[in-house]
């Protein structure tokens, strides 16, 4: 496994690999790897000759009062895990390498970013779209792997790729969960032991919604209310949002129909956690 820090070097490596006819899979991450990330690597290794993982905590996708500074980092541990999983290249640029002082460009995907995390975190998805486009241009992958946990991010990336006529294939990968259902996240490390217990309520609330829909409930506000009650019964919880959207268009719905994405963001203490589930109404 090779660690690459410079953009130009990464570009030249990929150019050489492409000339040799190799296919390149790409797993963009902010590091502090968990099973979710490693599952993306496994998908990539199945489908490509070479797997490139980026590890870059992207400052421009964090708001001024968010957790950029305290976001967990452990590059040595990440390196061990990535190598064990068979990653071929880690791209690990500095902030200055990615955003030199005179950096001025922003990529925005409109409309689908006006709700959910985009509403709670203004500018977040501009930062995501901009860095992912840069990474795509640097790594030039045939396929890129994103976890379904960040469902809105996935929708933004897919829309950007389509709108900007990029050639990369976006592969959504299923959410990886702890035994008790908590979605894997680097931010789970923020949780105290007590908070960790409360955190299971995100997935439980999503399952409650699923069950209600399976029993025939169609009214979103009824389901939301039941979810809210369940979540607020737990200690340390504060709901950021619970949203029901059409899984294709990302438009907010009030009546359950077809494939519905149910997504939520809940603060457990200071940790803001997200989760989601796709339910198909009969």
Catalytically annotated residues: 37
Nearer to its own copies, 134 or 272 (CB): 134
**CA 209 – CA 198 distance, rounded (Å):** 18
Place of tokens 């005179």: 102
Nearest approach in angstroms of CB 220 to its own copies is 23
Is 187 annotated in a binding site? The answer is: yes
Q: How far is the CB of 43 from its own copies (least distance, A)?
A: 25
Query: Least distance (Å) from its own copies to the CB of residue 127?
Result: 13
CA distance 51 to 28: 11
Q: Is 19 in the site for its own copies (CB under 8 A)?
A: no
Q: Does 245 bind its own copies (CB under 8 A)?
A: no
Q: Which tokens is 72 given?
A: 């967990």
Q: E strands along 132-224, which residues?
A: 143-147, 169-173
Given 4, 27, 112, 264, the residue binding its own copies (CB under 8 A): 112
Size of the site for its own copies (CB under 8 A): 26
Q: Which stretch binds its own copies (CB under 8 A): 78-86, 99-107, 173-181, 210-218?
A: 99-107
10: its two tokens? 């990464």
Please identify which residue in 35, 83, 163, 280 interacts with its own copies, judged by CB under 8 A. 163
Q: Does 232 bind its own copies (CB under 8 A)?
A: no
Q: Residue 227 Cβ, how far from its own copies at the closest point, in Å? A: 29
Question: The tokens 């090779």 sit on which residue?
Answer: 2
Does position 115 interact with its own copies (CB under 8 A)? The reply is no
Q: How many CB atoms are closer than 10 A to CB 106?
A: 11
Of 108-116, 141-149, 230-238, 271-279, the window that binds its own copies (rule: CB under 8 A) is 108-116
DSSP 114: S
Please choose, from the candidates 15, 77, 28, the residue with its C-alpha nearest in 3D space to the C-alpha of residue 57: 28
From CA 40, how far away is CA 279, in angstroms rounded?
23
| Burial class for 59, CB neighbours closer than 10 Å (0-12, 13-18, 19+) | middle
To the question of whether residue 149 is assigned a binding role by annotation, the answer is yes
Among 94, 137, 192, 222, binds its own copies (CB under 8 A): 137
Give binding residues for beta-alanine as ranges.
61
């Amino acid at each position: 496994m090779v660690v690459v820090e410079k953009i130009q070097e990464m570009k030249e490596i990929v150019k050489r690999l492409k000339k040799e006819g190799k296919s390149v899979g790409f797993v963009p991450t902010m590091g502090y790897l968990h099973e979710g990330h490693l599952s993306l690597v496994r998908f990539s290794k199945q489908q490509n000759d070479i797997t490139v993982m980026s590890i870059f905590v992207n400052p421009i996708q964090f708001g001024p009062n968010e957790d950029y500074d305290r976001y967990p980092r452990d590059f040595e541990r990440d390196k061990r895990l990535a190598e064990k999983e068979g990653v071929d290249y880690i791209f690990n640029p500095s902030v200055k390498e990615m955003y030199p002082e005179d950096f001025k460009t922003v990529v925005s995907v409109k409309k689908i970013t006006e709700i959910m995390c985009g509403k709670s975190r203004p500018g977040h998805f501009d930062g995501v779209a901009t860095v992912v486009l840069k990474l795509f241009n640097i790594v030039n992958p045939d396929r890129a792997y994103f976890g379904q946990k960040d469902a809105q991010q996935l929708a933004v990336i897919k829309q950007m790729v389509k709108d900007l006529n990029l050639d990369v294939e976006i592969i959504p990968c299923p959410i990886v969960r702890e035994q008790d259902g908590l979605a894997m996240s680097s931010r789970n490390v923020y949780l105290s032991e007590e908070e960790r217990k409360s955190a299971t309520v995100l997935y439980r609330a999503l399952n409650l919604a699923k069950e209600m829909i399976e029993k025939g409930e169609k009214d979103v506000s009824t389901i939301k209310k039941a979810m809210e009650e369940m979540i607020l019964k737990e200690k340390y919880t504060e709901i950021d949002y619970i949203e029901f959207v059409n899984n294709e268009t990302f438009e907010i719905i009030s009546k359950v129909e077809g494939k519905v994405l149910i997504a939520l963001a809940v603060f457990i203490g200071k940790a803001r956690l997200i989760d989601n589930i796709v339910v198909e109404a009969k």
